[in-house]
Structure 1
Amino acid sequence: MKQSRTLAIGDIHGGLKALKQLLQRIEVTEKDCFIFLGDYVDGWSDSAQVISFLIDFSKQYNCTFIRGNHDVWCMQWLETGNINDSWYLHGGKETIASYKTITNAEKKEHLAFFKTTKLYLLDSKNRLFLHAGFTSMHGVTREVNPESFYYDRTLWEMALTMDKSIPEDAIIYPKRLKHYHEIYIGHTPTTNFNKHTPTNAVNIWNVDTGAAFKGKLSAIDVDTKEIYQSEPVYSFYPNELGRNK
């Protein structure tokens, strides 16, 4: 009998077909817990359909949804009708198009979904899950700018450049990293530095493997570190550019 698993899933960016394949490869059971690390929309043509799927999926499975920066833009558009210029150029145009077949009632349901997403999750094993990072040396509870949770890249950049020989009790060891046993993020594609699977640096795991571009959609079992991946997401959408513009 399979044991329960906690699976962190990276940035989906409208790639519903890849998400369905990934979940099939995971061989999902009702014992599993899923932590989605944000950026559900903007990229491939199924953004609105991803949200509908996740809403239905969460009715059967234990899910936590983290808020990404692209989700914030989409949420603001659904609520106000205003189109952020940066969003429109970075996937918003495709997301708006995906909503053409979505009813007003469904849009309200999607808005409610976005509003219930979390800025971060800290579990019972002192593992932190968030979309991007944080800047406070005192940890997430003392973060003065909540936008850091879905925009910050300095946490990951710092981890990538750290000398691995520095002991945790050294004065120069970054205080940000000392608060948590492990940190799971998305936001910055690992493919930017030629890594195609979820990547570890110090105690941080980056699960964004470039699904919005030429990469795969990935999940990681946070206990065993077993990795699951779809085929490259663009291969499901051969007539689209995604964010490869």
Structure 2
Amino acid sequence: MNRTIAIGDIHGGLKALIQLLKRIDLSPNDKLIFLGDYVDGWSDSANTITYLIELAKQNTCVFIRGNHDDLTEAWLRTGDLNEQWLQHGGQSSIDAYRNFTSEEIKEHLAFFKQMVNYYVDKENRLFVHAGFTNIRGVENEYHDTAFYWDRTLWEMALSLDDKIPTDHKFYPKRLLLFREIFIGHTPVTRIGEDKPVNMANVWNTDTGAAFKGKISAIEIKTKEIWQSDPVHELYPDEDGRN
């Protein structure tokens, strides 16, 4: 059976990603949709990008751009340092690239450039790192940064009274635009959960891999879930973003 699997935030936890894909029992027929934030956190940020480049030669992959990916790409291209980025995992990516050659970095920059801000499948499912703000849809978004920085979509889904029918005049218009929405960006560990969480028609797959959580994957049709071990247990000598 051909599966389509969405994978949440990785944050340089390559050991956990490899473990997760083994637990999925990945087949070449499986399509993988990565929801962003491949870097900034654990020491394997650069190695994670190398691994994903190779993985895409074996499987059909969609790589969504995350906010940390955008920040790391900007640094690789210009060398400019963003202080907020440095405080939230950027230093780990700088360290991870110290021994990479200019040719390897060039290959990685090509990978960053081909990332997409969002993906909509034939069944009208949206895959985006963070969210979007325009009630007329993603193609009408005012600024690309919303796709990888916005938290209001998830906050809205969290706060929505599940007793309100979808045809109510006050039902959020953004949620009506898509059959389902798959996101990352905001760890569900903040609300005391350790597996992907469904609110309204939004699935949040960020299970806190940058901190004390796991990397998670979900089959988009059956909703079967797979997880790695807590990433910090695979990097016992590191702090990640903790």
Per the shorter chain, which TM-score range? Answer: over 0.9
Choose which of 18, 23, 28 in structure 1 pairs with 2:21. Answer: 23
Specify the code of the residue in structure 2 equivalent to 1:208. D
Runs (4+) of structure 1 exceeding 4 A deviation are none
User: How far off is 1:175 after superposition?
Assistant: 0.3
Deviates more, 1:228-237 or 1:76-85: 76-85
**1:1-245 equivalent positions in 2, closer than 5 A:** 3-244=1-242
**Residue deviations 1:62-99 (CA, integer Å, cap 9, x gap):** 00000000000110011111111111111111110011
Q: Distance in 2 between matches of 1:116 and 1:208?
A: 22
Percent identity reads 58
SS in 2 for 1:63: strand
Cα separation, 2, equivalents of 1:21 and 1:35: 17
Instruction: State how far apart, in whole Å, the 2-side matches of 1:92 and 1:217 are.
Output: 19
Give the counterpart letter for 1:97 in structure 2.
D
Look up the equivalent residue of 1:35 and give its one-letter code: I
CA RMSD of aligned residues (A): 0.5
Unaligned runs of 5+ in 2: none
**Structure 1 regions of 5+ residues with no counterpart?**
none
Task: Tell me the SS of whatever aligns to 2:103.
Answer: helix
| CA shift digits 1:86-144 (9 cap, x unpaired) | 11111111110011121110000001100100000000000000000011111111111
Q: TM-score, normalised by structure 1?
A: 0.98
TM-score (norm 2): 0.99
The code of the aligned residue for 2:146 comes to S
SS in 1 for 2:74: helix
Distance in 2 (alpha carbons) for counterparts of 1:189 and 1:181: 22
Displacement of 1:219 after TM fit? 0.2
How far the C-alpha of 1:146 sits from its partner, in A, is 1.2
Pairwise CA distance, 1:229 = 0.1
Amino acid aligned to 1:63: C
Provide the secondary structure at the position in 2 that maps to 1:128. Answer: strand
